Chains A and B, each alone.
Chain A
Amino acid sequence: MIPFNFIRPASLAEALDFLAENGERTEIIAGGTDLLVELRGIPAGKKGPKWVVDISGLPELKGIREEGEEIIVGSGSTHWEVHTSELIRETAPLLAAASATVGAAQHRNIATIGGNIMNASPAADTVPALIALEASAVLRSREGERVRPLSGIFVKPYQTDAAPGEILTAVRFRRLPAEAKSAFVKLGRRNALAISRMNAAVVLFLRDGVISEARIAPGSATPMPERFAAAEKILIGQKPSEELFRAAGAAVAAEMVDRSGRRWSTPYKEPVIAALTARALREALAG
């Protein structure tokens, strides 16, 4: 492992002070399940961070709570805490489902939702679920706090627009009403070729048997996670049916190719994302 210094601030304020002075040469560590793999990959002799600052014990980043209609998930919540939270299971079951699929127990016990987001991998499982929940990111620096739609913080794969002095403190979203239908489905790495970990998060609202609102957020389909408006449009004003869900799946595949272009992996990804989307819609409807 390349050399670096390690500090463990006792409070969020202390961590933000440290980052304000040293942010440029510092890596933040939460669960470490992405960062330590990355640091280990830096060849001996090459320059790594001067500092690693540990935020994993900070009480300000812990906890899942509701404030009126909003659910606030501390960035330091582990995937285990997210998927076993009664509040999340009730108000955002697709997020509980996404956290439940991250890695193995050893990862979920320690890896955080904040790390999943800030690592900005196109394959991060909780991000499509959060985007389908129309979540916002709460970013804090010594100077203050900014709240942005989560979908707006991704610049390119593995990069967000967070400044070196900023810490993601929480994500927040409106609770799904009890009648909303949602699902998260994922193609596991072990039951498929390891080309990519594709997934899909969907939310549907129905009024008088007709779809009144639809949100579709596929993961690993585009360089940056986002909703697929063309496919959503196909659903709105329609009665749910197998045919309709297949059409929406096909539209997602077409939109993916439009946005990402044709690549070596496209012949594999096209049918997979179409089928995953249709399956997610089916599962959402079935409840």
Chain B
Amino acid sequence: MKKIKLDITVNGVKHSLKVDPNLRLLDLLREELDLTGTKEGCGIGECGACTVILDGKAVNSCLILAGQCAGREIVTIEGLSDGEKLHPLQQAFLDHGAVQCGFCTPGMILSAAALLHANPAPTEDEIRVAISGNLCRCTGYTQIVEAVQAAAGKDKGDWWLQI
């Protein structure tokens, strides 16, 4: 296995790396860049715990090779808050009791962020479709949908463009 060269932007920071050719984006984030907010649940695209935003769109980082992301931009959950100041979606999840064990939360919030990026005022149905690839075993989806609606309802200028 020959290492490959990889230039990639993660949460606004440019990295020039040499990585194993069979590395998944998920492994790159967690193992090489120490961004452990991205979770591995199933590893086969079923649960959405590993969701990140790639060039503005939600993807499962367990189903993409690091090498396929050369020259592209990734946003992880660590990239949403402004230092200690939570992103409105993060705050809304807390306010609405949408977090229990928290394992699904980073992926859930990134799916919601990608949705609001494309569609600032989604209907309840559109929210449910956008998070249908994110499984939550504890909270139930009602509070999660309410949190997304609350975040979308807030007039925060174009904060979602910051993803």
- A contact residues vs B (CB 8 Å cutoff): 1-6, 8, 29, 31-33, 36-37, 40, 52, 54, 56-57, 80, 103-107, 109-110
Q: How would residues 4 to 46 of chain B score, 1 for a CB under 8 Å from any chain A CB and 0 otherwise? A: 1000000000000000011110000000000000000001110
Q: Using Cβ atoms and an 8 Å threshold, which residues of chain A touch B21?
A: 3-6, 52
Complex Cα distance, B102 from A230, in Å, reads: 53
| Nearest chain A residue, comparing its CB with the CB of B48 | A106
Q: Is the CB of B1 within 8 A of A36?
A: no
Q: Using Cβ atoms and an 8 Å threshold, which residues of chain A touch B134?
A: 104
Q: Is the CB of B70 within 8 A of A8?
A: yes
Q: Is the CB of A33 within 8 A of B45?
A: yes
Q: Is the CB of B4 within 8 A of A36?
A: no
Q: Is the CB of A36 within 8 A of B133?
A: no
- B contact residues vs A (CB 8 Å cutoff): 1-2, 4, 21-24, 43-45, 48, 51, 54, 57-60, 62-65, 67-68, 70, 111, 114-115, 129-130, 132-134
Q: Is the CB of A6 within 8 A of B60?
A: no
Least Cβ distance of B153 to chain A in Å? 21
Query: In the complex, which of the residues B45, B111, B130 contacts A107, with contact meaning CB atoms closer than 8 Å?
Result: B45
Complex Cα distance, B133 from A103, in Å, reads: 8
Query: In the complex, which of the residues B2, B64, B68, B132 contacts A105, with contact meaning CB atoms closer than 8 Å?
Result: B132
Q: Using Cβ atoms and an 8 Å threshold, which residues of chain A touch B111?
A: 105-106
Complex Cα distance, B22 from A52, in Å, reads: 9
CB-CB under 8 A for A109 and B24, given A8-B67, A8-B70, A103-B45: no
Q: Is the CB of A3 within 8 A of B1?
A: yes
Complex Cα distance, B44 from A2, in Å, reads: 15
Q: Using Cβ atoms and an 8 Å threshold, which residues of chain B touch A4?
A: 1, 21-22
| Nearest chain A residue, comparing its CB with the CB of B20 | A3
Complex Cα distance, B114 from A28, in Å, reads: 28
Complex Cα distance, B2 from A270, in Å, reads: 51
Least Cβ distance of B40 to chain A in Å? 11
Complex Cα distance, B1 from A52, in Å, reads: 11
| Nearest chain B residue, comparing its CB with the CB of A2 | B22
CB-CB under 8 A for A109 and B57, given A32-B64, A52-B21: yes
Q: Using Cβ atoms and an 8 Å threshold, which residues of chain B touch A103?
A: 45, 133
CB-CB under 8 A for A5 and B63, given A40-B44, A106-B133: no
Residue contacts A-B, CB under 8 angstroms, 5 given: A3-B21, A8-B68, A40-B44, A106-B133, A110-B63
| Nearest chain B residue, comparing its CB with the CB of A4 | B22
Query: In the complex, which of the residues A32, A107, A109 contacts B68, with contact meaning CB atoms closer than 8 Å?
Result: A32
CB-CB under 8 A for A36 and B65, given A106-B59, A109-B58: yes
Q: Using Cβ atoms and an 8 Å threshold, which residues of chain A touch B51?
A: 106
Q: Using Cβ atoms and an 8 Å threshold, which residues of chain A touch B57?
A: 80, 105, 109-110
